[in-house]
Structure 1
Amino acid sequence: MPEPIRVLVAGDDFVLNRLMTDALHADSGPAPWDVRELHLPWPHVPFGRVGEVDEASGSEEQLIEALRGARVCLTQMAPLTRRVLTACPQLELFAVSRGGPVNADLDAATRHGVAVTFAPGRNAESTAEHTLGLMLAAMRRIPQAHAGMLAGRWDSGLFAYEATGLEIAGSTVGLVGAGAIGGRVAAALVALGAEVLVTDPYVERSALPAGVRAVSLDELLARATVVSLHARLTDETAGLIGADQIRAMRPGSVLINCARGGLLDYTALAAALRAGHLFAAGLDVYDVEPLPAGHPLRDAPHVVLTPHLAGASRAVAERAARMVAAEAGRWLRGEPLLHRANPVAAHP
């Protein structure tokens, strides 16, 4: 019987070690694997830059020691750097359980013959649901009503016409981006009775949910009661919604962003909320994270804020664990990897 293959499971307090280990054994059985574990401190300790990679948790020294003898690593946040790769020549597969392997140096991994995989779409359902939650909370001003109740008030004045909220049914909702997340949001909004417009130059119109219409960004901003951002952050989309675009939105409309902070000018957004041009905003991502004390959103009216957790659900963690375990199983069986992030290269 061949010796088990050593695999390092480097989880954290979101994608747990036990989730990845259980998924690994469910996919391939326990016999092929000699599982070692490393616990990383995220999210209780913020991620950061480690070596030349971003959004990583733990240190190069920790990972080098834990990877001793391992040919496979399953992780969410461990840093795969030039130093780690040089110190761990036996490593062959580094499977990252997140939507993009930003914590891996892909060029260096390719030079060392290490395959890097990731878990695209792991949080599409969760982010779509969080978007809808923020949308409803902002449109119906649920957090303000909740805060009043906690303060001992019974704000019957919220029944006054000018203070009441907006409904999704019968509204026009514009989605900037119609990929995995935007498409799910669109389908849910149609079911709730909204007219849904999308702008996305990379999505085929035939792929849009029934009842959804593609338009230009200018038309979307001019017509929508609610604008929700779902675009990727690229050089092309950075600053996509600035002061001019916010001014072009309908008076009394709502802006939602659960995508990327770099898409939106938050100073202009805060000014539009204070001026009453926008009815409300719901935000999960920001230009600076964590949100600093002096940020203009801190005292802007009618804004609902969450700390970049749209993709946080137990189902996401479980799905991510299954996705990296499945890649390890494919590697074990000599099958093509499904979500490889770097080119094929022979291991030296």
Structure 2
Amino acid sequence: MSAIVCAGDEFISADLLARALAEAGVDAEFRRIDSRWPTEPFAAFDGVREAAGDPARLAELVRGADALVTHLAPLTAEVLAAGRGSLRVVGVTRGGPVNVDVAAATAAGALVVHLPGRNLGAVAEFCIGTMICAMRGLPAAASELAAGQWDAAGFRYERTGLELRAATVGLVGLGAVGLRVAELLRAFGSTVLAHDPYASAEAAQRVGVRLVALPELLSGSDVVSVHARLTPETKQMIDAGALDAMRPGAVLVNTARGELVDTRAVDAALESGKLRAAVLDVFDPEPPAPDDPLLRRPNVFATPHLAGASRQVAEESAARIAAEVATVLSGGTPGNCANPEVTGTRTVEPWSSS
């Protein structure tokens, strides 16, 4: 019988992973362990990041195991070396396996499978909902009412905002999440622009998006929503110059990575009135400093990296990774693999850090 380590947490538990594997037809001894994320924050470990758990304990559990399935466990070189000779596959319920030392997994002979776009539905719905809230000034109005202040001046013309059907929305990045956001915006009747040097023209046309250069997107959009991958080229791509190029009174939404946006420049743009509002679900660093002035602005809708949090994400991610692991254990080729050179399998889609 196979032995599989299920390393869960308080979002995707070891029990949920084991149940998904059993439902996928995997007959195995399940070795379960859970970290306390998100109650305790994730951290960087030896060569991996955004990880939670005890590498030494994982190394003990992985000895003799055929597979390891996880969400955030720190799969360091130490952990993966302990699985050398038995470990065939590592399954990660994330868009990109940033918590895995992929080189060490390759050296151990283990495929690393993952789930690009695993939370695209949750993130896309979050984007649409918060765009509406930010354009209409709803977070500040709700906060004022909770504090006992009835502000009927929100009906004054100069304080009202756009409806999505009248707005032009610019998407910086048109990957899986960006495409889903575009589909939802199309239903509202929005005009949608996108900038992505790697986007498929056919996919953009299918969802009614016009691909443009970044300067045209910035100057032509009422809402700019960031969905780019973090690379050396995209780091702080939304800087003071980009913000200055945006329409006066525009809204900025960032659910991708905090490092894509210069938050000090955003603070200045909000102070000057250049930006009407900002929606920030991601920060650099995370968590942001408690005294960060940006968080206290009434026209900032800030959330603690929750855009991808839904029950569907947890349950469907467990089911999808279980199917991938079952495929590998039965001798098949996985759909998304970070190190196909291990067996010559083909990567269908490059992994991202989302």
Give the TM-score of the pair, scaled to structure 2: 0.93
Deviations 1:138-196 (A, max 9, x none): 11111111112211222212111222222111111111111111111112112111111
Q: Structure 1: which amino acid aligns with 2:240?
A: A
Q: Percent identity among equivalent residues?
A: 47
Give the equivalent residue in structure 2 for 1:160.
156
Query: Mapping of 1:35-50 within 5 angstroms?
Result: 35-50=30-45
Size of the alignment, in residue pairs?
341
Query: Mapping of 1:267-286 within 5 angstroms?
Result: 267-286=264-283
Q: Structure 2: which amino acid aligns with 1:61?
A: A
Q: CA deviation at 1:210?
A: 4.1
Alpha-carbon RMSD across the aligned residues, in angstroms, is 1.4
Deviations 1:206-257 (A, max 9, x none): 2113432111111111111111111111112112111011011111111111
Q: Structure 1: which amino acid aligns with 2:65?
A: A
Query: Mapping of 1:163-312 within 5 angstroms?
Result: 163-208=159-204, 209-312=206-309
Contact kept, 8 Å, 1:134 with 1:283, in 2: the verdict is no
User: Distance between the aligned counterparts of 1:11 and 1:173, measured in 2?
Assistant: 37
Contact kept, 8 Å, 2:15 with 2:32, in 1: the verdict is no
Query: Mapping of 1:41-120 within 5 angstroms?
Result: 41-89=36-84, 90-120=86-116
Contact kept, 8 Å, 2:8 with 2:71, in 1: the verdict is yes
Q: Structure 1: which amino acid aligns with 2:283?
A: Y
Contact kept, 8 Å, 1:238 with 1:262, in 2: the verdict is yes
Give the TM-score of the pair, scaled to structure 1: 0.94
Deviations 1:267-298 (A, max 9, x none): 01111101111111111111221010232413
User: Distance between the aligned counterparts of 1:311 and 1:210, measured in 2?
Assistant: 22
User: Distance between the aligned counterparts of 2:256 and 2:181, measured in 1?
Assistant: 12
Give the equivalent residue in structure 2 for 1:137.
133
SS for the counterpart of 1:6 is strand
User: Distance between the aligned counterparts of 1:288 and 1:51, measured in 2?
Assistant: 19
Contact kept, 8 Å, 1:113 with 1:344, in 2: the verdict is no
Give the equivalent residue in structure 2 for 1:19.
16
Q: CA deviation at 1:258?
A: 0.7
User: Distance between the aligned counterparts of 2:215 and 2:298, measured in 1?
Assistant: 26
User: Distance between the aligned counterparts of 1:283 and 1:267, measured in 2?
Assistant: 13
User: Distance between the aligned counterparts of 2:263 and 2:176, measured in 1?
Assistant: 25
Contact kept, 8 Å, 1:274 with 1:301, in 2: the verdict is no
Q: CA deviation at 1:301?
A: 4.1
Runs of 5+ in structure 1 lacking a partner? none
